[in-house]
Structure 1
Amino acid sequence: MTTQPDSETSSPGAASPRRGGSLFLLIVVLATAVSAVALLALTGGIAGAPAPGLPDPGALTRWGLPATRAVRDSATFLTLGALVVATCMVATRKSGLVSKVQLRLAAMAVISGSVWLWSAVMEFVLSYADISGQEPQTATTEQLRFFATEIEQGSYLGWNIVLAGVATFIALAARTVTGLALAAVLTLAALWAVALTGHAAADANHDLAVNIQFLHLVGIGLWIGCLVAALWIRRHPDTDLPVLVARYSRLAGWCFVAVAISGVLAALLRVPRVSDLASSYGLLLGVKVAAFGLLGALGWWQRTRVVGRLAEEADQSSARTLFTRLAALEVAFMALAAGAGTALSRTPPPGIEAADEPTPTEALLGHSMPPELGFAQWFTEWRIDSFWAPIAVAAALVYVAGVRRLSRRGDRWSRGRMIAWLVGCLGLLWATSGPPGAYGDVLFSMHMIQHMTVATAVPTFFVLGAPVTLALRAVVRRVDGSRGPREWLLLIVHSWPLRILGHPIVAGILFVVGMIAFYYSSLFEQSLRGHTMHLLMTAHFLLTGYLFANVVCGVDPGPRRPIYPLRVLLIMVVFGFHALFAVALMGATELLAGDWFTALDRPWGPSPADDQYVGASLGWVLGEYPLVILAVAVVWAWVRDDHREAKRLDRQADRDNGQELARYNEFLQGLGRSSTNEGHDR
């Protein structure tokens, strides 16, 4: 497998692994491509007829597209794994500069990232040839530019190319662990672009399919990539293999759960009948499930046998050999599973032919029109948001787990803070999956309720829950020089970007100007039409609301907060601007996102213009309840601080027998005498 590099230098680009390591990566990538093409050839997916009305794009496209897609997927997974292991599983220098073993992992990321970049470019060209029905060598620059800018799939493939190039360049040039972490985040963003293509883009429930596909890709990517990265550095002298394997084993367990859940949900979406399992799609699905089951068994064997032996045995040579053999076998099955996944993306699901054509309204919404909003619908009409609902539930469970960990350790945690956090999680769930989420894309008034809840109420309760303080107390500090969740949290909290964004003036401006820029630009309509922009909108409102609430009533460590009178003034100014925005919207004659709301052809309820007036009125009225919540939180924090300060002064007086208070009184008397003498002199 991998071998120890000859030398290590001061930059990732200069770290030159031996040929054996690069050859190992190439074998993994090619094995995935070969399995994908072989499975498609067995099921007849490559020799299939072109789409009706389109000419045959040629053998190069039929054979090359699945191969390049498999290479792209596996190279992306390897890049992600190398960057995650470098940033979260191995030791770094105290200065934050990358260590020698991290340089080794950065070199792996550069190699796999380069393969990812070029395979993504080839996939882009071949995808255009496949869609247009022409030979790839005949495609012109103008045609490819049109594909990248005007066709949705081409745009997503183009973004994948851009992100591949940027992530690879950062991995090449980064000298700090933070830089490698940024490259890892960009690689995750590229997986989101991949999730937006393929069958997920054509499923009836587009949003659910994309979210499931993204979770599936992240789970597989971390599972495969981190294991290959562990093999890549297993012989490095700075690698603590027992610790690395133990950390990977825990991560692999969560990846197994994520892949299992997302795989089952995706299968239910695309194979609704048991009889469909006899199709080519069902056969490929069976191969992937079998490989997945074997991987689960091998992972269980690794966790129960290898991890313990690496940690306990003084002579680890036999345990290292066992780990290498077992990991190599796992990688082989992973390549087969990844290849089966690529083959599935090129095979039409059996339910597509039988599916009814969606109506124009269903094509716009991605789901059927909800019933007319009445009193009962405020309690019964829910449409689970498959992205934010799991986040809300997970946030509640993780918080409660942290409180329980403190309790088992004998530490206490405020019950009021826990209740505040759980109320915030419940509010996020209700706003995104309850009636505001179910009607937010067909009624502007319900969208405004969703906006006010997500941007003001939910962040305030989150801030009152003091999640950063809880995490710092509950999460174990690492002592081996690596950065775990606690170390990354501390770094983010005290980073210069957060100090800027968390400044009272900046936070207030982001809260107000961001809202105005969103509604009075094309961003609002784009959030209604596109799943990605809708998620970014919700994340923006949640983040800016959290920053503002943290300035006003936060207790967690972070940017310095102003004195309480200035906090009250900041609340009044910000919500004054918010009220002005609502009043201006009430008097507006132009319909926001007019093309969207008129194209829906909603058969019930008020007209889009009347509903916009109702939404603006609700924005004005509902601005009062977050104002009350923030005001109460500020007054409560103010009183608590005064009480703590009084108790501190009392303890100080007990320690020095009131000398500090006596000196302060003498100081005041001196000021009084000076003022009297000045009056006499005059």
Structure 2
Amino acid sequence: MLRVVRIAGPATLVGVGFAALLVALAIGGGAAPQLLEDPGAVVRFGLPTSTMLVNLAASGMIGALGLVLFAIPPASAAYGRALDVAAGSAAVFTVAAAFTGFFSYLSVTARALSFDDTFSQGLGQFLTQIALGQAWLQTTLIGAVVTVLCFAVRNQTALFFVGLLAVASLIPMAQQGHAAGTTGHDAAITALGLHLIFAAAWLGGLAVIALISRQIETPKLVDIVTRYSSVALICFIVVAASGYVSAELRIGSLDRLLTPYGLLVLVKVGALIALGVFGALHRRFVIKKLGDTGRRRHFWWLIVAELAFMGIASGFAAALARTATPVPETVPATQTAAEILTGSPLPPELTTANFLTQWNFDLIWILVCGFGIVFYLMGVLRLRRRGDRWPWYRTVLWIAGLLMLFYVTNGGLNVYEKYLFSMHMFGHMTLSMAVPLLLVPAGPVTLALRAIRKRDDGTRGMREWILLAVHSRAATVIANPIVAGVLFATSLVAFYYTPLFRWATEDHIGHEWMIVHFLIVGYLFVQALIGIDPVPYKLPYPFRLLLLLATMAFHAFFGLALMSGTGLLLADWFGATGRDWGVSAIEDQQAGGGIAWSIGEIPTFILALVVAIQWSRSDKKETKRRDRNADRTGEAELGEYNAMLEKLAARDGR
């Protein structure tokens, strides 16, 4: 009976998914014949079907790699079976992505399949020159690479990078989702990307557990399911938040929920709520009962039901991509210069009130800051329950740093940085100097290593991965104080005077990369100066001050160069937004140089002060250590030193 249930679980996911897809297409009209240039029934049904196969295969690929990296012991038979599932899913993903790109071409052009040169040339142009075709070509190629790597790679560290590549395969899909080219484009990309990645990890992890369970003994199965349950809770939160953002962008108001698109969204919401209930049952009752009795019957029936609702959600998600949204997604006939460049209307004039009240929310950093605060507090609470102490001021600094990061990535700075270089520079200096100045003294790595439980079954949890990262060769290089200082200083020139600046300004992915880059480089530099977390090498305090002064001098020269410069950086962007308020673009850029020079001096002074205080405390600790050693040994070191001087004097006398 249990064998039938194990087979029925993944089969239920696929079968219910396809049934839900057909129902959703009928409700939303996603496969209805088009009035003009209809591509035919094969394309109308084939495109959403292949899209759903892409989503399901991506789930198997990412879910299997996630379990291999974080949950399954490498020495077990289930480890190899999970990698086989990942490789097979990646192969299906590659083929399904290729078919989706092909069907997309037929849907866009409404051309009949033929084998002449005109058809092949048109398909080649679509895949290499049109954004939609390029996205599916990139997805197919990445899927093919992941397939080969899943067969060839068995080293767990190398598999981590294979997992990152598997996640990256979903990014081109996210960039071509609904709302591309309309207001809310960046928010739509973020929400869809998060939705795809975390839904894949959630769905795929459960399906893979069902497939490989036969190779897992019950005690190990309890451990694996417990670890998966923790990840599933995070996935549930992210999927719910990203789904809400996507629905709000595409529906707009509550009265549009009764449209075909709105009805499909309501069904997905119902499936998500049911999955949340199943997850709560897993965490509260089923896992405990499985561990106490060893019987898997109730556990498997719950998995089958959970996979059925995941199939419903998957089918309706694929149909939603083909359903017209209540909010029109066509580009308006007339657009302002700001809308053409940024996809959003020009914000109101920059005043103190507008700076404090205008918001442009970025879901990625809302979640990062929220999870960062929650996990840190959970770590502190675990230490206190164990009887260990953790300084309160570190907790205050961590929360303050993440709240500052939240405002920089969601508040007035994120509103005006696309139109004012000065606001961009203000955000840059805050990310690279002010935020790390609060986060580094909080000692997050030290807290994680003390609070997270050590594993003894050969798997790598967060503690093991953090230790591996800290002691890796790459960390040894980039955490070196000299290297960190060089990266911090030269990244200014490398960013603002290369195409990276344009990429980060025009492309949303580039913008997110810019935030991560500034944050990491600043964190490494501050860590090299005042960090308490473990690093391979720390400079003596006098050299730390010299490093700080040298780096800040480079910052000052950069700021002065901008202040005195007469050439506008990205003139076709900052000089073409149609801004009719504030100073001119070149004056604003010169003001940005002043910000880089002047505001950067405040964190510099604080850093120098903290280094001096740590230096003084270190000298006091060393003095006390020597005094205790002298009391304990009867000043043996001093006696040996005096004896040595006497011998030298006697030798000189002779």
Q: TM-score, normalised on structure 1?
A: 0.88
Q: 2:210 aligned to 219, 226, 231, which one?
A: 231
Aligned counterpart, 2:44: 62
SS at match of 2:215: coil
Structure 1 pair 649/146, CA: closer, same or farther in 2 (3 Å)?
farther
Distance 1:141 1:520 in 2: 41
Please, which moves more after superposition, 569-578 or 439-448? 569-578
Distance 2:129 2:647 in 1: 75
Matched, 1:176 2:152: no
Q: Deviations over 1:275-306 (max 9, x none)?
A: 42332212322332333333333333333442
Q: 2:520 aligned to 543, 565, 572, which one?
A: 543
Structure 1 pair 211/649, CA: closer, same or farther in 2 (3 Å)?
same
Residue identity opposite 1:347 in structure 2: T
Q: Structure 1 residue 145: deviation in Å?
A: 5.0
Q: Deviations over 1:171-216 (max 9, x none)?
A: 2221211122222222222233322222142552122222222232
Answer yes or no: is the 8 Å Cα contact 2:28–2:323 preserved in 1: no
Structure 1 pair 21/249, CA: closer, same or farther in 2 (3 Å)?
closer
Aligned counterpart, 1:11: none
Answer yes or no: is the 8 Å Cα contact 1:2–1:24 preserved in 2: no
Q: Deviations over 1:636-663 (max 9, x none)?
A: 2222222222232233233323223433
Q: Deviations over 1:429-464 (max 9, x none)?
A: 232223322211100011111111111221232111
Matched, 1:386 2:363: yes
Matches within 5 A, 1:453-472: 453-472=430-449
Q: Structure 1 residue 325: deviation in Å?
A: 2.5
Residue identity opposite 1:609 in structure 2: I
Answer yes or no: is the 8 Å Cα contact 2:10–2:210 preserved in 1: no
Structure 1 pair 360/68, CA: closer, same or farther in 2 (3 Å)?
farther
Structure 1 pair 168/665, CA: closer, same or farther in 2 (3 Å)?
farther
Matched, 1:49 2:30: no
Q: 1:375 aligned to 328, 331, 352, which one?
A: 352
Aligned counterpart, 2:248: 268
Q: Structure 1 residue 274: deviation in Å?
A: 3.4
SS at match of 1:301: helix
Q: 2:131 aligned to 152, 161, 172, which one?
A: 152
Q: 1:648 aligned to 596, 602, 625, which one?
A: 625
Matches within 5 A, 1:186-335: 186-237=165-216, 240-313=220-293, 316=294, 319-335=295-311
Residue identity opposite 2:20 in structure 1: S
Distance 1:148 1:335 in 2: 30
Matched, 1:598 2:565: no
Answer yes or no: is the 8 Å Cα contact 2:484–2:525 preserved in 1: yes
SS at match of 2:257: helix
Aligned counterpart, 2:402: 425
Please, which moves more after superposition, 149-158 or 617-626? 149-158
SS at match of 2:566: coil
Answer yes or no: is the 8 Å Cα contact 1:34–1:67 preserved in 2: no
Q: Structure 1 residue 27: deviation in Å?
A: 7.1
Distance 1:123 1:589 in 2: 50
SS at match of 2:283: helix
Residue identity opposite 1:292 in structure 2: L
Residue identity opposite 2:193 in structure 1: F
Matched, 1:352 2:328: yes
Identity in percent: 38
Distance 2:203 2:356 in 1: 43
SS at match of 1:346: coil
Structure 1 pair 199/645, CA: closer, same or farther in 2 (3 Å)?
same
Answer yes or no: is the 8 Å Cα contact 2:170–2:193 preserved in 1: yes
Structure 1 pair 343/486, CA: closer, same or farther in 2 (3 Å)?
same
Answer yes or no: is the 8 Å Cα contact 1:126–1:136 preserved in 2: no
Answer yes or no: is the 8 Å Cα contact 1:32–1:71 preserved in 2: no
Residue identity opposite 1:82 in structure 2: A
Matches within 5 A, 1:434-445: 434-445=411-422
Please, which moves more after superposition, 357-366 or 99-108? 357-366
Q: Structure 1 residue 221: deviation in Å?
A: 1.4
Structure 1 pair 522/282, CA: closer, same or farther in 2 (3 Å)?
same
Structure 1 pair 226/670, CA: closer, same or farther in 2 (3 Å)?
farther
Matched, 1:76 2:58: yes
Residue identity opposite 2:162 in structure 1: A
Q: Deviations over 1:552-581 (max 9, x none)?
A: 221211221222222222222222222222
Distance 1:22 1:325 in 2: 12
Q: Deviations over 1:125-162 (max 9, x none)?
A: 22233233334656756545544454333343333223
Answer yes or no: is the 8 Å Cα contact 1:58–1:134 preserved in 2: no
Answer yes or no: is the 8 Å Cα contact 1:203–1:209 preserved in 2: no
Matched, 1:112 2:92: no
SS at match of 2:576: helix
SS at match of 2:180: helix
Answer yes or no: is the 8 Å Cα contact 1:377–1:435 preserved in 2: yes
Residue identity opposite 1:36 in structure 2: L
Please, which moves more after superposition, 69-78 or 191-200? 191-200
Q: Structure 1 residue 408: deviation in Å?
A: 2.6
Matched, 1:130 2:110: no
Q: Structure 1 residue 507: deviation in Å?
A: 1.8
Answer yes or no: is the 8 Å Cα contact 2:28–2:319 preserved in 1: no
Aligned counterpart, 2:342: 365
SS at match of 1:251: helix
Answer yes or no: is the 8 Å Cα contact 1:494–1:559 preserved in 2: yes
Q: TM-score, normalised on structure 2?
A: 0.92
Residue identity opposite 2:60 in structure 1: L
Residue identity opposite 2:299 in structure 1: F
Structure 1 pair 337/68, CA: closer, same or farther in 2 (3 Å)?
same
Please, which moves more after superposition, 290-299 or 79-88? 290-299
Distance 1:69 1:670 in 2: 88
Please, which moves more after superposition, 234-243 or 613-622? 234-243
Q: Structure 1 residue 664: deviation in Å?
A: 4.1
Report how many aligned residue pairs link the two structures.
650
SS at match of 1:600: coil
What is the alpha-carbon root mean square deviation over aligned residues?
Answer: 2.8
Distance 1:619 1:86 in 2: 45
Q: 1:338 aligned to 294, 314, 336, which one?
A: 314
Structure 1 pair 45/501, CA: closer, same or farther in 2 (3 Å)?
same
Q: Deviations over 1:87-122 (max 9, x none)?
A: 1112235xxxxx432111111100001101111122
Matched, 1:39 2:24: yes
Distance 2:129 2:225 in 1: 46
Distance 1:421 1:299 in 2: 30
Matches within 5 A, 1:662-677: 662-667=639-644, 669=645, 673=649, 677=652
Please, which moves more after superposition, 580-589 or 432-441? 580-589
Residue identity opposite 1:623 in structure 2: G
Alignment gaps of 5+ in structure 1:
5-19, 94-98
Answer yes or no: is the 8 Å Cα contact 1:30–1:71 preserved in 2: no
Answer yes or no: is the 8 Å Cα contact 1:204–1:367 preserved in 2: yes
Residue identity opposite 1:224 in structure 2: L
Residue identity opposite 2:69 in structure 1: T
Q: Deviations over 1:586-644 (max 9, x none)?
A: 33332111111233111111111121111112212223122212212222222222222
Distance 1:197 1:407 in 2: 47
Residue identity opposite 1:262 in structure 2: S
Aligned counterpart, 1:185: 164
Q: Deviations over 1:217-245 (max 9, x none)?
A: 23321221111111122111467112222
SS at match of 1:589: coil
Distance 1:519 1:137 in 2: 49
Q: Structure 1 residue 356: deviation in Å?
A: 6.6
Residue identity opposite 1:443 in structure 2: L
Structure 1 pair 128/650, CA: closer, same or farther in 2 (3 Å)?
farther
Aligned counterpart, 2:498: 521
